[in-house]
């Protein structure tokens, strides 16, 4: 990813990237959204990644199963 925009929180920018990947099909339904992988990819703390996944969960784009992880939600009919 290119450099972060200093005028916006990093977690919002990470959420935007994940949102784009879901929309483009790069992350299909039921695909794992790995916090560990995102943390490494963006070079941010886990807390930052968790804020991004929480926002996406509120939007209904991902679902989180305790002990299993976060997954791209099935598209609603």
Whether residue 55 contacts residue 12, with contact meaning beta carbons closer than 8 Å, is answered with yes
CATH class label, 10-72? mainly alpha
CA distances from 69 to 5, 13, 54, 77 (A): 28, 21, 12, 24
pLDDT of 74 > 80? The answer is: yes
Question: What is the predicted pLDDT for the residue at 36?
Answer: 95
Phi and psi for 53 in degrees, rounded to 5? -70, -35
Residue 77 pLDDT class (50, 70, 90 cuts): low
Instruction: Determine the Cα–Cα distance for residues 8 and 29; give it in Å rounded to an integer.
Output: 28
Question: What is the predicted pLDDT for the residue at 32?
Answer: 97
Domain assignments of the chain as residue spans, ordered by start: 10-72
Task: Provide the mean pLDDT of the chain.
Answer: 94
């Amino acid at each position: 990813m290119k450099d972060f925009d200093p005028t916006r929180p990093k977690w919002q920018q990470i959420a935007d990237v994940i949102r784009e990947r879901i929309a483009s099909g790069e992350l299909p339904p039921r695909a794992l959204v790995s916090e560990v992988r995102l943390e490494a990819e963006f070079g941010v703390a886990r807390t930052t990644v968790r804020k991004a996944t929480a926002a996406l969960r509120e939007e209904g784009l991902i679902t989180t199963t305790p002990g299993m992880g976060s997954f791209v939600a099935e598209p609603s009919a």
